[in-house]
Amino acid sequence: MIVVTGGAGFIGSAIVWKLNSIGREDIIIVDHLGQTEKWRNLVPLRFIDYFEKDDFLREIQSNRIGQSPKIDAIIHMGACSATTEQDATYLVHNNFEYSKELAVFAAGKNIRFIFASSAATYGDGKKGFTDDEEVLESLQPLNMYGYSKQMFDIWAKRNGILKLSVGLKFFNVFGPNEYHKGDMRSLVLKAYEQIRSSSKLQLFKSYRQDYKDGEQRRDFIYVKDAVELVIFFLLNKNVNGLFNVGSGVSSTWNQLAHAIFKAMSVEPKIEYIDMPGSLRDRYQYHTCADMNKVRAMGFGKQLMPLETAVEDYVKNYLIPGKTLGT
């Protein structure tokens, strides 16, 4: 049996979709649905049970779950992923304390534990983007979200959890099932909506002389490729530690924008707008995942080029309004 926390969310529901595609339905989904539209992601998926996150925590604290059938793995994707969240106490409780509870439970029961970290832990990138655990403590995230992930990564290392589990540093993931994420949706979805309504796209201006407007760079990875990496770690139980989940390619926002216009068969028209002042000092101008470590562990699958992934997302999901599995 596999537990997927955040299983109604973006990456979590994509993981369940992928598990279903390889014949796994013995899945418990843990999430907090609240008043969001996340429930729509669950409709086409196959699983045996669902718990709200606080209820699930009480279940493991009281040792009422995981005996029969046995839990083989916990894939912990549940977290507040808003990079703009200002409530540090909430982030500590949700992203750090909750993760510690699950990690201790998994270690005590010899359960495979795979958890979501973030490329936000790398901060401005001056320390590089290499998933080397030896430099973990030197990283300086630019926002509290990234720091909450960094806190757990360091705790997991110092308490021996990383020797028993896998932490995944997700870069800029995009794709179907992100519809509920509000401001945290990818540019692909936001751009699709903008272009459909106005035939143009707005991008932030650059505030550094070494980057022209729209030339800020990101490592974009399609969610279908991201979950392939998750499954790789699920199946290869002898591989542990922190690993990047990215494409290994750095693309500009302009390149992404042109790929979206092309997929929509619309002539490109980009307008550069002011970046909110609250973001200017905490903005990443360049990210690119070093994928050598995971490749050395045996992950050989070729990932989709950006333009191909954008085309699949736009034409097969956004235009027809579909989620994964529908």
- Write the pLDDT tens digit of every residue in 150-190: 999 999 999 999 999 999 999 999 999 999 999 899 999 99
Q: Is the model's pLDDT at 66 over the cut of 70?
A: no
* Mean predicted confidence (pLDDT) in 274-301: 94
Helices 53-61, 98-109: inter-axial angle, 10-degree rounding: 40
Domains annotated on the chain, with CATH: 2-174+219-249+285-303 (3.40.50.720)
Return the percentage of the chain with pLDDT > 90, whole number. Answer: 91
Active site annotation includes 181: yes
Return the percentage of the chain with pLDDT > 70, whole number. Answer: 99
* Mean predicted confidence (pLDDT) in 37-41: 95
Residue 111 pLDDT level (bands cut at 50, 70, 90) = very high
Strands (E), 107-232: 112-118, 165-170, 172-174, 201-204, 217-218, 220-222
pTM above 0.75, yes or no: yes
- What single-letter amino acid sits at 262? K
pLDDT for the residue numbered 68: 67
pLDDT for the residue numbered 281: 85
Per the prediction, the chain carries an average pLDDT of 95
Within 10 A of 283 (CB to CB), how many other CB atoms are there?
17
Of 145, 179, 313, 317, the catalytic one is: 145
**Comparing C-alpha atoms, which of 191, 198, 206, 84 is closest to residue 142?**
84
Active site annotation includes 145: yes
Of 181, 200, 205, 293, the catalytic one is: 181
